[in-house]
Chain A
Amino acid sequence: MELIIALGIGLLGGCGVWLLLRPRTFQVVLGLSLLSYAVNLFIFVMGWVRGGRPPFIDPALPVVAGVFADPLPQALVLTAIVISFATTALLLVVLLAARGLTGTDHVDGEEPGE
Chain B
Amino acid sequence: MIEHLLVAPIVLPLAVGAALLLVDERRHRAKAIVSLCATLALVALAVLLAARADAPVTHVYRLGSWPAPFGIVLVADRLSAAMVLLAAVLALAALWFSLARWDRAGPHFHTLVQFLLAGLSGAFLTGDVFNLFVFFELLLAASYGLALYGGGAQRTRASLHYIVVNLAASLLFLVGVSLVYGVAGTLNMADIVTRVSALPPADRVLAEVGIGVLAVAFFIKAGMWPLGFWLAPAYAAAAAPAAALFSIMTKVGVYAVLRLWLLVFGGTSGAELLAFGGMATLVYGVVGMLASQNLGALAGYGLLVSSGTLLAAIGLGDAASTAAGLYYLFVSTVAIAAFFLLIELVGRAREAGADVLAVTAEAFGLGTQEAEPQAEVGFAVPAAMVFLGLAFLGCGLVIAGLPPLSGFLAKFALMDALVREEQNPAAAWIVVALLLASSLAATIAFVRAGVRIFWAAERVPPTVRLAEIAPIAALLVVCVALTVLAGPALDYLGEGAQALHAPASYLEEVLGQ
Q: A86-B141, A101-B153, A101-B156 are in contact. Are A46 and B181 (CB under 8 A)?
A: yes
Q: Which bucket holds chain A's interface residue count?
A: 20 to 34
- Contact between A94 and B159, CB atoms less than 8 A apart: yes
- Contact between B141 and A87, CB atoms less than 8 A apart: yes
Interface of B (DSSP majority class): helix
Q: How many A-B residue pairs have CB under 8 A?
A: 87
- Contact between A73 and B178, CB atoms less than 8 A apart: yes
Residues of chain B within 8 A (CB-CB) of A98 are 153, 156-157, 160
The closest CB in chain A to the CB of B182 belongs to A46
Bound together, the chains give a CA A72 to CA B131 distance in angstroms of 13
> Which of B134, B153, B171 has most A Cβ within 10 Å?
B171
**12 contacting pairs across A/B (C-beta < 8 A):** A43-B178, A45-B182, A46-B182, A48-B182, A80-B174, A83-B134, A87-B137, A87-B141, A97-B148, A98-B157, A98-B160, A107-B161
Q: Is A30 an interface residue (CB 8 A)?
A: no
Bound together, the chains give a CA A86 to CA B462 distance in angstroms of 42
The closest CB in chain B to the CB of A96 belongs to B156
Bound together, the chains give a CA A98 to CA B144 distance in angstroms of 14
Q: Is A95 an interface residue (CB 8 A)?
A: yes
Nearest-Cβ distance from residue B178 to partner chain A, whole angstroms: 4
Q: Which of A78-112 contact B (CB under 8 A)?
A: 79-80, 83-84, 86-87, 90-91, 94-95, 97-98, 101-102, 107-109
Contact with A along B138-182 (1 / 0, CB 8 A): 001100100010011100110111011001101100110111011
Residues of chain A within 8 A (CB-CB) of B168 are 20, 32, 35
Q: A80-B174, A83-B137 are in contact. Are A91 and B167 (CB under 8 A)?
A: yes
> Which of A48, A73, A76 has most B Cβ within 10 Å?
A76
Which listed residue, B163, B171, B182, touches A94 by the CB 8 Å rule?
A: B163
Which listed residue, A39, A73, A79, A95, touches B181 by the CB 8 Å rule?
A: A73
Bound together, the chains give a CA A1 to CA B130 distance in angstroms of 27
Bound together, the chains give a CA A95 to CA B153 distance in angstroms of 12
- Which residues of B pack against A, CB within 8 Å? 130, 134, 137, 140-141, 144, 148, 151-153, 156-157, 159-161, 163-164, 167-168, 170-171, 174-175, 177-179, 181-182, 187
Nearest-Cβ distance from residue B109 to partner chain A, whole angstroms: 17
Bound together, the chains give a CA A12 to CA B274 distance in angstroms of 31
The closest CB in chain B to the CB of A99 belongs to B156
- Contact between A94 and B178, CB atoms less than 8 A apart: no
Bound together, the chains give a CA A86 to CA B175 distance in angstroms of 19
Interface of A (DSSP majority class): helix
Bound together, the chains give a CA A107 to CA B160 distance in angstroms of 7
Residues of chain A within 8 A (CB-CB) of B151 are 97
- Contact between B174 and A43, CB atoms less than 8 A apart: yes
> Which of A25, A42, A73, A94 has most B Cβ within 10 Å?
A94
Residues of chain B within 8 A (CB-CB) of A83 are 134, 137, 170
- Contact between A76 and B181, CB atoms less than 8 A apart: yes
- Contact between A72 and B152, CB atoms less than 8 A apart: no
Which 9 residue pairs of A and B lie closest in terms of their CB atoms, listed nearest first?
Answer: A46-B182, A109-B157, A43-B178, A101-B153, A46-B178, A98-B156, A39-B174, A39-B171, A83-B137
The closest CB in chain B to the CB of A83 belongs to B137
Contact with B along A42-57 (1 / 0, CB 8 A): 1101111000000000
Bound together, the chains give a CA A45 to CA B247 distance in angstroms of 37
- Contact between B171 and A35, CB atoms less than 8 A apart: yes
The closest CB in chain B to the CB of A107 belongs to B160
Residues of chain A within 8 A (CB-CB) of B140 are 87
Q: Is A28 an interface residue (CB 8 A)?
A: yes
The closest CB in chain B to the CB of A28 belongs to B164
